[in-house]
Structure formats: C-alpha cells, structure tokens
Amino acid sequence: GPWVAEKLRQDPQRQVLPFEGYADAYAHRGYSFFMREGFKSASSLKSGSFVHEEGWTVRHSRSKVVAVPPGVEVTIFVRDPVDLAHLEQSAAGVHDLADLGAEYKQALVENVDQFYVTCSDAYLKKMNRSGDIACWEGWEFFVRARDAVFCCIVLRRSFIPPLCDSAQDLAVLLRCPAQGLDSDACHALLD
C-alpha cells in the first residue's frame, strides 16, 4: 500500500542522489529538482528563477570539453492544478501540450526579430524520484535567436493523487546568452 512507498522513499539507500556536479537544493511551488551547482535564486522573492553567473565546462560526446557561458538562467513555471474534466472540455486548446508549448514559444519570440526553432517535439520524462503515481507527459522546444538560446520543456502531471482527478502544468525554461555559444554547447545544454 501507500505506507510501503513512503517507507521506501525514506530509506536513504533507495534515494536518488544528484549527478556529479549537481545539487538537490532547488525547489519551487512544491516541486524539487536537480540543477548544476552554482545556480542562485535570481531575486529574493520565490520567483522560480535561478541564474548561474560563472558558467561552467562539461565533457560532451565522451572527449570534447564544452564551455557554457556565464548568465545561464533557469525559470520554473508552475500553474495551478485544474480538474481533468475541465481540461478535457477546454475550448482554448490548453488540453494539448503541443499547443501549450507553442504559447510559451510565441511569448518568448514576441519581441525577437530573428530566430529559428531547431527542435519542437514530444518529451519523455525519464526520472521519478518520489514514486509518484501520476501520469507525466511532455513537450520540448529549442529556439535560437541572435542574443539568446532558449530551451523549454513543458510537462503535464495528470491524475494527481489522492483523488486522481486533477492535472497541473509545469514549464522549465532555460535561457542562455548566445554570445560565445557554439553548436556543441547547445547540444550540451539540451542534454
């Protein structure tokens, strides 16, 4: 039953630890996540924005070392939960993650004169750190503009316990200054 899942979650030998160079010290509106060490809250408010001022290097494609420039910003957006029945009846199209991803992309590029989309596709969430029984689905896109590169993953958590009758949308937006960013660094950011 549920008490078994809770007991397993509390067992230190069964906890998922952050990858090397990452920390588990980040949270926003009830969700916690791993991020590279060195990210700091962008403001004193609990805004869900985190900035890495120094940049970092990462080994990519087994041997190549890639430099990620300073000023990378990660922003977490968490929408309020909605009833699944309301989501299914929505005429606004928010029931479709591709449409929701398109809304985020449109908001990002609204004031950008030149950009191109290099990826816009379904996203597979790969890790379940807490034994969550909810259903997760996702959509991702990658936009390259003159001044910045954006990577966004839109996630929908459906059938949220205990009643399994609600859904909640989240978006993780990574913004990286484009200056000094080559295609290898872009691939490293996507990974």
User: Residue 15 carries which side chain, given as an amino acid letter?
Assistant: Q
Domain count, the chain: 1
For the entire predicted model, the pTM comes to: 0.81
Q: What percent of the chain has pLDDT over 90?
A: 36
Say if residue 185's pLDDT is above 90. no
- Average of pLDDT values for 47-56? 90
Q: Report pLDDT for 27.
A: 87
Residue spans of beta strands (DSSP E) within the chain: 22-28, 31-36, 40-41, 49-52, 56-60, 64-68, 72-78, 82-83, 115-123, 135-145, 148-158, 166-177
For residue 123, the enclosing domain spans 2-190
Q: Report pLDDT for 62.
A: 67
Which has more pLDDT, 166 or 16?
166
Which residue in 117, 87, 121, 113 sits closest to 105, CA to CA?
117
